[in-house]
Amino acid sequence: MKQFDLRSYTEQEMICLAEQSGEKPFRGKQLFEWIHGRQVSDFARISNLPRKFLENLAQEHEISGVQIRKKQVSRDHDTAKYLFSLSDGNLVESVWMKYHHGNSVCISSQVGCRMGCSFCASTLTGLTRNLTAGEMLSQIYEIQNETGERVSNVIVMGMGEPLDNYDNLLRFIRLVSAERGLHLSQRSITVSTCGLVDQIRRLMEEKLQITLAVSLHAPNDEIRRQTMPVANKYPIEEIFSVCREYIENTGRRITFEYSMIDGINDRREHALELARRCRGMNCHINLIPLNEVKERKTRRSREENIRDFKIILEKNRINVTIRREMGSDIDAACGQLRNNFMEQTNSD
């Protein structure tokens, strides 16, 4: 891997690069158009820029890209999961979901993860490295290219903890909404966090219009600590307090994700406790039937328990939905495809 990723630069930064190379500023704009408009990943395919400028750039920069290693399509063809390799051979996953109102892509923000949630497959081998903003974008570009369809929503909810890769995430958000890039509105970008309170506060100060999703998975610290080590660092009280501030400061509703795990967090009293905490808050709860991961002991809640949980929340006037299950026949739990692939190649 080269030192810098050209795909992670803003248009303004590319203009500066051109000027530093003794070129006219419009050369920077042209470069941006090649990398984000036409989405090339190879210097050799850039045809209308001075050779000397490109040679200079190529000394220290690469243009990040991803390559499809495996693709699994769900039986109903509405979901596809991609396993991508990065230029250093690391693997990440993305999911493409087709809805009536447009296409969503769920992307990874890190290779692996260091948060250690006990039900999650992404964290089994720890964190390898952060993705660059360009590598996050490349997942979307490659999927658009492969499906021939435009992506209208982006969800940063694949492998990794996006707020643990804060600077690159912010860069990614700016690039994906850039006028001469995909030009997505910030409202069509969702970022999911396990609840890093300090970074949520920082994000709030950026005054972005993105949707923030917070993985709660429990109504109190005692239960939360059973599955999420991060709960030892940030008590649930602090999470709720920063979320309230976030809503007030940005005017945006927050989503709480709640993966339903049999016998752990799915009792009626848990629903009541959760409802008490969320009362009067501009939030939405997304109940996720746990995707069982073979290396993990946690099991999915029974269907009737999920239904009862939802009814209790509704009776307490809390906004709640059960996540439509997409792609559970294609290893769609974060990190599963990568783990299974690595196991196979290790035993080959």
Known catalytic membership, residue 93: yes
| 197-205 and 236-250 helices, crossing angle to 10° | 10
Residue 259 in the binding site for ligand SAH (CB under 6 A): yes
Determine which one of 11, 23, 93, 142 is catalytic: 93
User: How near is the Cβ of 223 to ligand SAH at its closest, in Å?
Assistant: 14
Pairing between β-strand 67-73 and β-strand 61-62 as defined by DSSP bridges: unpaired
CA 70 – CA 140 distance, rounded (Å):
16
In angstroms, what CA-CA distances link 232 with 238, 242, 243, 248, 339?
12, 17, 18, 26, 27
User: How near is the Cβ of 332 to ligand SAH at its closest, in Å?
Assistant: 9
The only residue of 6, 111, 157, 275 in contact with ligand SAH, by rule CB under 6 A: 157
Known catalytic membership, residue 194: no
Residue 117 in the binding site for ligand SAH (CB under 6 A): yes
Residue 212 in the binding site for ligand SAH (CB under 6 A): no
- State the Cα angle at 249 between 245 and 253, rounded to 5°: 80
Q: Label residues 302-318 b or e (16+ Cβ within 10 Å = b).
A: eeebbebbbebbeeeeb
Q: Residue 157 or residue 242: which is nearer to ligand SAH going by CB? A: 157
Residue 266 in the binding site for ligand SAH (CB under 6 A): no
Strand partners, 156: 107, 191
Residue 193 in the binding site for ligand SAH (CB under 6 A): yes
Segment interacting with ligand SAH, rule: CB under 6 A, options 12-20, 73-81, 191-199, 218-226: 191-199
Within 13 Å and on the Cβ side, how many CA atoms surround 141? 26
Question: Which residues in the 61-100 window bind ligand SAH by CB under 6 A?
Answer: none
Residue 257 in the binding site for ligand SAH (CB under 6 A): yes
In angstroms, what CA-CA distances link 333 with 10, 66, 88, 182, 249?
32, 20, 24, 27, 32
Residue 32 in the binding site for ligand SAH (CB under 6 A): no
**Single-letter amino acid, residue 68:** I
Residue 119 in the binding site for ligand SAH (CB under 6 A): yes
Q: Which residues bind ligand SAH (CB under 6 A)?
A: 115, 117, 119-120, 157, 161, 192-194, 215, 257, 259, 288, 290-291, 293, 333-334
Which residues are catalytically annotated? 93, 334
